Amino acid sequence: MDIVVRGRNVEVPDHYRQHVADKLGRIERYDHKLISVDVELTHEKNRRQADACQRVEITCTSRGPVVRSEACSADFYSALDNAVTKLESRLRRSADRRRIHHGRHTPTSVHAATGQTATALLEMSPTQTEPDADADEHAPGQVVREKEHPSEPMTIDQALLEMELVGHDFFLFLCKDTGRASVVYRRTGYDYGVIRLTP
């Protein structure tokens, strides 16, 4: 497993890189197919956000779904601790789901339980295009980050799982049945929605 630590407008010292490697060394027990772990440190320059001015984002790439977590704190050490705790929770959930769904006693799917028809979604493994070095000095309303996702069709259950694993409120996919771009998203309460583009 490769661990890459980089900073955005932050110099990352060697002792912190070693601390990150020690912390992330234990996550391999949840997924033995981990390929790489990207850790990105960001410093917020706004003085009013001093309590949460240090941000740590962790993205795990494996042969399975991408798992991501992020946390903010007053210093990078506590932000890393919080992000690793979230990451372990998501990796544990993914491992438990693999163990249950690949056994003989597969539980009823979300769609079967709610009576909705199942559609297919894309498995995503994001590759990220970094913004320019002066992106922090941008005017409001500009695009500062782009992501591309190679994909293959998957079910709505898989898309909902991927959405939960990356910690976002939405998940973009290509419908296997219709071939249309679609989005699953979290609604108020514990409900989900699907938006599909028409040709």
**Measured CA distances, 96 to 34, 44, 101, 126 (Å):** 16, 36, 9, 23
pTM above 0.75, yes or no: no
Domain membership of residue 171 as a residue range: 113-196
Sequence letter at residue 53: C
Q: Looking at 36, 71, 101, which one is the last position of a domain?
A: 101
Please give the average per-residue pLDDT across 7-27, as a whole number. Answer: 87
Looking at the fold, whether 6 and 94 belong to one and the same domain comes out as yes
pLDDT in tens, 76-87: 899 999 999 998
- In a domain, residue 162? The reply is yes
pLDDT tens digits for range 160-179: 888 888 888 888 888 787 77
Q: Which of 101, 129, 145 is the last residue of a domain?
A: 101
Q: 68 and 19 in one domain?
A: yes
Q: What CA–CA distance (Å, rounded) separates 50 from 45?
A: 8
Using an 8 Å Cβ cutoff, are 174 and 121 in contact? yes
The domain that holds 148 is classified in CATH as 3.30.505.50
Evaluate whether 4 touches 36 at the Cβ level (below 8 Å): yes
Last residue of a domain, one of 101, 127, 155: 101
Specify whether 81 is located in the same domain as 169.
Answer: no
